[in-house]
């Protein structure tokens, strides 16, 4: 009996430790992924988009990323460095080829106080596919920013209706930097553009004069501050702006004359 008990105990211990080892290996094979939404604003009063889901194509299989902060968001509130967190989930590690942003039907734009529906082309009704092509390593946090370019995403039709053809830049926080600053005086729409001959990234200032250029690859840039022509203010050009990966280059307060 003692021998039988000893054998059974060892077998049980083996199963126990094997199970623990299996659990640990399983836990090690996940990566944390965060997806946030921001906006390079356009000349509209409000732009509302209906975010329904985020799907990822991981290891050749597509699935929902998990719990997301679904809802209707005003893109013009997501400026000047403001972002909204759409998802923060643990997913299986491995190769991700795409992220697909799935929108609902409640997309609208407000122009001169009038709300218009944003029609979506049939080719994009299944969701907008964004190329990732990155291998997620176990235990690592990956932060993706979806930079929604309103100016390029809304098309005015000949009949006066509006079409939504989303133009979104996907960037990874760990693989890029950012440029921020404040432009005065307030009350003037200002376009801020960073260019290094290869990459061109732009955004408008918000109501407080703040701007944030997300997803800027490391390098040296020329930043151009362009107020709307009707303001009578002069452009400002800032040369040799250095951007490093993982950091925000703050240009401080820029006074327009």
Residue 90 pLDDT greater than 70, yes or no: yes
What pLDDT does residue 60 have? Answer: 82
What pLDDT does residue 124 have? Answer: 63
What's the number of domains the chain is made of?
2
78 and 186 both lie in a single domain: no
- Residue 123 pLDDT level (bands cut at 50, 70, 90): low
170 and 192 both lie in a single domain: no
Report whether 80 contacts 151 (CB < 8 A): no
What pLDDT does residue 125 have? Answer: 61
Of 129, 151, 175, the one marking the end of a domain is 175
Report whether 223 contacts 194 (CB < 8 A): yes
Residue 17 pLDDT greater than 60, yes or no: no
Mean pLDDT of 208-222: 91
Question: Beta strand 71-74 with 46-58: parallel, antiparallel or unpaired?
Answer: antiparallel
What pLDDT does residue 128 have? Answer: 86
* CB-side neighbour CA atoms (13 Å) of 80: 13
Of 175, 193, 218, the one marking the end of a domain is 175
Mean pLDDT of 34-48: 86
* CB-side neighbour CA atoms (13 Å) of 153: 28
SS3 44: coil
Report whether 108 contacts 114 (CB < 8 A): no
The pTM of the full predicted model, rounded to 2 decimals, is 0.69
39 and 155 both lie in a single domain: yes
Does the residue 8 lie in any domain? no
85 and 169 both lie in a single domain: yes
List the CATH number of the domain containing 126.
2.60.40
């Amino acid at each position: 009996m003692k021998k039988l008990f000893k054998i059974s105990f060892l077998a049980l211990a083996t199963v126990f430790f094997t199970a623990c080892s299996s659990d640990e290996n399983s836990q090690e094979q996940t990566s944390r992924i965060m997806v946030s939404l921001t906006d390079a604003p356009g000349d509209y009063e409000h732009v509302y988009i209906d975010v329904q889901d985020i799907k990822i194509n991981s290891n050749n299989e597509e699935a929902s990323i998990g719990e997301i902060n679904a809802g209707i968001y005003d893109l013009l509130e997501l400026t000047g460095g403001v972002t909204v967190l759409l998802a923060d989930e643990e997913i299986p590690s491995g190769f991700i080829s795409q992220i697909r942003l799935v929108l609902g039907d409640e997309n609208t734009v407000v122009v001169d106080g009038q709300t218009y529906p944003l029609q979506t082309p049939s080719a994009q009704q299944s969701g907008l596919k964004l190329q990732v092509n990155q291998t997620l390593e176990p235990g690592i946090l990956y932060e993706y920013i979806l930079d929604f370019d309103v100016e390029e995403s809304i098309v005015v039709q000949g009949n006066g209706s509006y079409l939504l053809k989303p133009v979104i830049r996907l960037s990874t926080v760990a693989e890029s930097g950012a440029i921020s600053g404040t432009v005065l005086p307030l009350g003037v729409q200002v376009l801020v553009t960073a260019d290094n001959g290869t990459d061109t990234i732009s955004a408008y200032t918000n109501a407080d004069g703040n701007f944030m250029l997300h997803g800027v690859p490391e390098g040296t840039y020329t930043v151009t501050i362009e107020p709307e022509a009707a303001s009578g203010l002069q452009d400002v050009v800032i040369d040799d702006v250095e951007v490093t990966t993982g950091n925000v280059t703050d240009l401080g307060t820029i006074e327009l004359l």
